[in-house]
Structure 1
Amino acid sequence: MRKSIIALFSILILVSCTEKKSAKNFVLTGNIKGLKSGTLYIQRIKDTVLVAIDTIKINGDSHFTSEFDLQSPEMLYLFLDRGVTNSLDNNIPFFAEKGIMNIETSLDFFTADVKITGSKNQELYDEYKKVVSKYVDQDLTLIEKKITAYQAKKMDEVSKMDEEQKGILKRKYLYTTNFAVNHADYEVAPYVALAEIYDINLKYMDTIQKSMTPKVSKSLYGKRLNEFIAARKKEENK
């Protein structure tokens, strides 16, 4: 009898845990090494403003968990309120998608040490940022050189570097377009189109739009890209 009661109790616990596990379609786990106390906020952009959708209090244990329903893959933000000083190193963007994701980082290098796993969109976005960062670095180097040339009144050099910057921007835009087309079966495709090349020639936007799978086209960023392209066409046809 005792064994039957124990077995029944074990089954009830298992059922309870299973139900709890399936209650929400998105689970974020993580650890911020060195963080003893503070507040974490999971944020999303709403009407161009970051708004909190979950609040996590840290008190002694640097591990955290957040669970909620996610309607569509979306770029969210993990914001750390340090409680003492304001810092630029306090907000981590992550491409959330249904399932379990994990964020590991440290208090001292909150954004620099971050490692995000559990999302294919995040994996692709990291790949994209790695390449784009090279174009950004090239542009920053040219800006520094342009300032020096401008101060020395070497306007021919300034003009030459202006053209070089345009070339860098063009390569970045073409890479972003190709990236979106090549990964049109993931929501990161319309996201980078909207976030990085919103002012590109419409023919490239059309190419990205036509490449999107039906699933991606119906996603949060897929819908926004469709609406954005329609609005641009309407404006340009006036």
Structure 2
Amino acid sequence: MRKIIWIALSALVVSCGSKSKDNFTVKCQILGLKKGTIYLEKFEDKKIVVVDSVNITDATEEFTFTNTINEPELYIISLDKLNTKQITFFGEEGTIHIETSLNKFYINRKISGSSLQEILDKHDEYAKKFNDINLDLIKDKFEALKYGDTKSVEEIELKRLNNLKRLYLFSANFAIAYNDKAISPFIACHRMEQATPKLKQKIYEALTPEIKHSKYGKQLKELIQ
């Protein structure tokens, strides 16, 4: 009798210990997909590493990745490792849905289920206005250089620098407003590359202790130092 009870308890322990610890699910749909290898990737030590992959041979448009995530970080969904077939998104605990089409892989992307991705999209949408102005000014500068108009070149460059300052001030204020989320140091590290160390330091000082010890909090600290 004791032996039977012991076996039953052992089976229960093994069963509980073998339960999946996966806390991160990515459900994808790529309309028009016929075949290819889909990769779930992330950045590790400045390199892109493969977390998981699935090979499609039967025109399956829907597939799922499950994994364990320790903290929010940036992930990539890519098709056959092509630069033109990539979607970056912020991964976090829970289920994230990604929808797109084969022909317009990046343009038609729709991401839901990630609150941090929604915040990043909000930042990038507003930042795009500054970036569009910057591109127009660069175009005007080349035109002025073409005709040897030195005065206009100087004026345009001053406008461009002022526009970049406004962009970085916006990004810094935005990051500080979300100082308790991993998106804050991420913006400082990957959306403010040319910003002054002083401005990045201001963001770092505003971070909560938990975020300072996060992946991007540590990255930001290294950049400042």
**Unmatched 5+ stretches in structure 2:** 1-14
Aligned to 1:105: 100
What's the secondary structure of 2:107's corresponding residue?
A: coil
Deviation string 1:79-122 (CA, Å, 9 cap, x unpaired) is: 1118xxx5x42111101111111101110100000011111110
Q: Distance in 2 between matches of 1:48 and 1:222?
A: 15
Aligned-pair RMSD on alpha carbons?
1.8
1:207 aligns with 2:205: no
2:36 equivalent in structure 1 = 38
Provide the residue aligned with 2:220 in structure 1.
225
What residue number does 1:142 align with? 137
1:54-79 CA distance string (max 9 Å, x none)? 11112321101001111111011111
Matching residue's letter, 1:81: D
Aligned residue in 1 for 2:74: 75
The sequence identity of aligned pairs, in percent, is 34
List aligned pairs for 1:121-200, cutoff 5 A. 121-200=116-195
Match of residue 45, structure 2, among 40, 44, 47: 47
TM-score (normalised: structure 1): 0.82
Q: Secondary structure of the equivalent of 1:153? A: coil
Instruction: Tell me the residue number matched to 2:10.
Output: none
Return 209-218 or 176-185, whichever deviates more. 209-218
- Structure 1 stretches of at least 4 aligned residues deviating more than 4 Å after TM superposition: none
Q: TM-score, normalised by structure 2?
A: 0.86
Distance 2:136 2:195 in 1: 24
Deviations 1:6-61 (A, max 9, x none): xxxxxxxxxx9xx86x5301000010011111111111122322221111112321
Amino acid at match of 1:184: N
Identify unmatched segments of 5+ residues in structure 1: 1-15, 232-238
CA deviation digits over 1:163-190, x for unaligned, max 9? 0110111011101100110011111100
Instruction: Return closer, same or farther for 1:62/1:177 CA change in 2, 3 Å cut-off.
Output: same
Query: What are the residue-to-residue correspondences of 1:87-102 with 2, within 5 Å?
Result: 88-102=83-97
- Which sits farther off after the overlay, 98-107 or 213-222? 213-222
**Mapping of residues 12-31 of structure 1, within 5 Å:** 23-31=21-29
2:111 alignment partner, SS class: strand
Question: Residues of 2 paired with 1:198 and 1:140: CA distance?
Answer: 17
Distance 1:91 1:211 in 2: 33
Question: Which residue in 1 is equivalent to 2:6?
Answer: none
Q: Aligned pair count?
A: 208
